[in-house]
Amino acid sequence: MVVGVVDVGANTVRLQVSRGKESLLGERVMLRLGEAIERSGRIPDAKLDETAAVVARFAAEARRRGVQRFEVLVTSPGRQAANGAELVRRLAAAAGAPARVLDATEEGRLGFLGATATTRGPSKQLVAVVDVGGGSAQIVVGTRRSGPAWARSLDIGSMRLTSRMGFSDPPGPEALAAARGEVQRLLEGVVPPLPQSAIAIGGSARAIKSIVGPDLGPEELERVIDVLARLPAAKVVARYGVEPDRVPTLPAGAVILAAIQERLAVPLRVRRRGGVREGALLELVSRREAA
pLDDT digits (tens, 9 = 90+) for 67-89: 999 999 999 999 999 999 999 99
Read off the pLDDT band of 282 (50, 70, 90): confident
pLDDT digits (tens, 9 = 90+) for 107-156: 999 999 989 987 776 678 899 999 999 989 999 999 988 899 999 999 88
pTM to 2 decimals? 0.90
Which pLDDT value is given to residue 123? 73
Do 119-270 and 2-104+276-290 have the same topology in CATH? yes
- Protein fold of 2-104+276-290: Nucleotidyltransferase; domain 5 (3.30.420)
Residues in the chain: 291
On the question of pLDDT at 157 being above 60, the answer is: yes
Domain residue ranges in the chain: 2-104+276-290, 119-270
What whole-number percentage of the chain has pLDDT above 90? Answer: 79
Which pLDDT value is given to residue 268? 97
Read off the pLDDT band of 288 (50, 70, 90): low
Which pLDDT value is given to residue 284? 84
Read off the pLDDT band of 291 (50, 70, 90): low
Q: What is the 3-state secondary structure (H, E, C) of the chain?
A: CEEEEEEECCCEEEEEEEECCEEEEEEEEECCHHHHHHHHCCCCHHHHHHHHHHHHHHHHHHHHCCCCEEEEEECHHHHHCCCHHHHHHHHHHHHCCCEEECCHHHHHHHHHHHHHCCCCCCCCCCEEEEEECCCCEEEEEEECCCEEEEEEEECCCHHHHHHHHCCCCCCCHHHHHHHHHHHHHHCCCCCCCCCCEEEEECHHHHHHHHHHCCEECHHHHHHHHHHHHHCCHHHHHHHHCCCCCCHHHHHHHHHHHHHHHHHHCCCEEECCCCCHHHHHHHHHHHHHHHC
CATH numeric code, 119-270: 3.30.420.150
